[in-house]
Amino acid sequence: MKIAILGAMPEEIDPFIVEIPTQIDYYAGNKFYKAEFAGHELFIAYSKIGKVNAAITATLLIEKFKVEALLFTGVAGALKDNFKIGELLYATKLAQHDLDISAFGHPVGYVPGNEIFVNTSKKLNKIAVKTAKDLGLTLKSGVIVSGDQFICDDDKKAWIAKTFGADAVEMEGASVAQVCSAFKVPFFIMRAISDVAGHKAEINYDEFMENSAKTSADFVLKMIEKI
């Protein structure tokens, strides 16, 4: 099976490249790493930050490299206080919090021809839950929303959480979800929590990124072994 592994930043895919021998294909201004693992053909890439970059890269993975499933891993900020820094969260559904034509009487996050939320793959989510159990890790589920903004204002966080019933916010997942849904490619999106709503915890971000990327990569590779 051809499986895509996607992150937004190089740090989020570096552990995969270290773990597995890869070859590189350059296309459309980006690098795509190819590897063999657990009987599958993997295509690994980082999109660069933001919804447009993520949508472009997801589309290329599907159209050019013909992947049959897509697994996204990265970091997100919690919108509710029931998360700890470093915890893993997978999306049950995603929406774009900055998509707004409410001036025309539509709900925020909606445009005609699309739903507000895009659901993730139940099959892949079930595999993830089993993987977490096998690894002895806590894996939570919830609603993740995306926008081309780094959200650090507490009032904005509260508005997003209330409007979408969202648990976490980031900058790519919902656009990847929309692409995969349009092409009918099953997808899974998991985020490590980098900051917690209502708290100003001090963390070494570089160290956090390295540790969370390694944990997430190990998790995803174990998932792939079960696919």
Give the model confidence (pLDDT) of 187-224 as tens digits. 999 999 987 755 555 566 677 888 889 999 999 999 99
For the question of residue 12 being annotated catalytic, the response is yes
pLDDT classification of 54: cutoffs 50, 70, 90: very high
Q: Which is it for the CA torsion 11, 16, 21, 26, positive or negative?
A: negative
For the question of residue 225 being annotated catalytic, the response is no
Active-site annotation holder among 14, 170, 172, 195: 195
Instruction: Enumerate the domain spans of the chain.
Output: 2-225
> What is the architecture of the domain spanning 2-225?
3-Layer(aba) Sandwich (3.40)
pTM (global) more than 0.85: yes
Q: What is the pLDDT of residue 182?
A: 97
Q: Residue 87 is encoded by which pair of tokens?
A: 């915890």
Active-site annotation holder among 12, 14, 170, 172: 12
Give the model confidence (pLDDT) of 142-154 as tens digits. 999 999 999 888 8
Is 112 exposed, middle or buried, given 0-12, 13-18 or 19+ CB atoms closer than 10 A?
exposed
- Percent of the chain past pLDDT 70, that is, above it, reads 96
